[in-house]
Amino acid sequence: MAKMRLDKFLSATGAGTRSEVKNLLKKHQVCVNGRICKKPEQKVDPDKDEIVMNGKRIAYEEVSYFLFHKPSGCVSATWDKKEKTVMDYLNEPQCRGLFPVGRLDKDTEGLLLITNDGELAHRMLSPKKHVDKTYYAEIEGEIKEEDQKAFLEGIDIGDEKKTLPANLVILESGKKSKVKVTIQEGRYHQIKRMFEAVGKEVTYLKRISMGPLKLEDSLKKGTYRRLKAEELEQLKRGC
């Protein structure tokens, strides 16, 4: 693995912010390979160097979880020949094997979990787990009670089976409508196809929650943060 700055490594492993880490270094609380190190810019190899803070070895994090606010215009993949991917927004060189949990369309915005915990991702995506995914959508056309009923009954979108019941909340209805939809599956273009099946077009789509995870307004498009301990606990408990 590539070498990285000591302060960056320490803050990435949760030791504190870059400035807190600098203070710890000043106070001689960090050793690299048995020697006190005061230099934040010291290059370390997390695979090879022994980094000890306050007498405790700082291990490289095995699994990491990030809540990303996906902007429109990037694809939910780890690599693409032509397109910008969601991974281009992450700067976490110390985390290996990160990938997005599930997919959002290139033009869809919103909450995307990025992790290297394959087991949790598998459980979250399992159709048997029925993890709620809520989207805010803008629709060309009027949304009526009959659409809500149809969504609750499940929609034929041309697949083998109808969709599971979906909860459709009308926020504004008119020539252009605003809604919230909660689904428990993740079929290809599911929301767009559900509206298409009732004769309407989705003009804007944003995922605002997934299970216990909520996209807060303060997390700007294209940025991300680590999951909080209680969010991770709820996520693991829920699936």
Catalytic annotation, residues: 105
Please tell me whether residue 190 binds ligand URA under the rule CB under 6 A. Answer: yes
Which residues touch 150 (CB under 8 Å, ≥6 apart)?
Answer: 198
Backbone phi and psi for residue 57, each to the nearest 5 degrees, phi listed first: -70, 130
Q: Which stretch binds ligand URA (CB under 6 A): 9-17, 104-112, 158-166, 171-179?
A: 104-112
The contacts of residue 98 (CB under 8 Å, 6+ apart) are: 64, 66, 78, 87, 90, 92, 114, 115, 116
Q: How far is CA 135 from the centre of its chain?
A: 14
Closest to ligand URA by CB, 24 vs 112, is: 112
Selected from 11, 13, 42, 108, the binder of ligand URA by CB under 6 A is 108
Would you say 3 or 189 has its CB closer to ligand URA?
189
The phi-psi region of residue 97 (left if phi > 0; otherwise alpha if psi is between -120 and 50; otherwise beta) is: left
Q: How far is the CB of 190 from ligand URA (least distance, A)?
A: 4
Does residue 235 touch ligand URA according to CB under 6 A?
A: no
User: CA end-to-end span of the chain, whole Å?
Assistant: 33
* 189 touches ligand URA (CB under 6 A): yes
Stretch that binds ligand URA, among 4-12, 37-45, 156-164, 186-194 (CB under 6 A): 186-194
Among 44, 112, 205, 232, binds ligand URA (CB under 6 A): 205
Pairing of strands 176-183, 167-172: antiparallel
Q: Is the CB of residue 98 less than 8 Å from the CB of residue 116?
A: yes
Say whether residue 112 binds ligand URA (CB under 6 A).
no
- Using CB under 6 A, count the residues that bind ligand URA: 8
Q: Are 135 and 192 in contact (CB under 8 A)?
A: no
Return the number of the residue (79 or 188) whose C-beta is nearest ligand URA. 188
Is residue 134 within the footprint of ligand URA (CB under 6 A)?
no
Query: In whole angstroms, how close is the CB of 187 to ligand URA at the nearest point?
Result: 8
Cα–Cα nearest to 108, from 69, 54, 149: 69
Of 49 and 105, the one with the shorter C-beta distance to ligand URA is: 105
Helix axes 118-125, 229-238, angle to 10 degrees: 50
By CB under 6 A, name the binding residues for ligand URA.
Answer: 104-105, 108, 189-192, 205
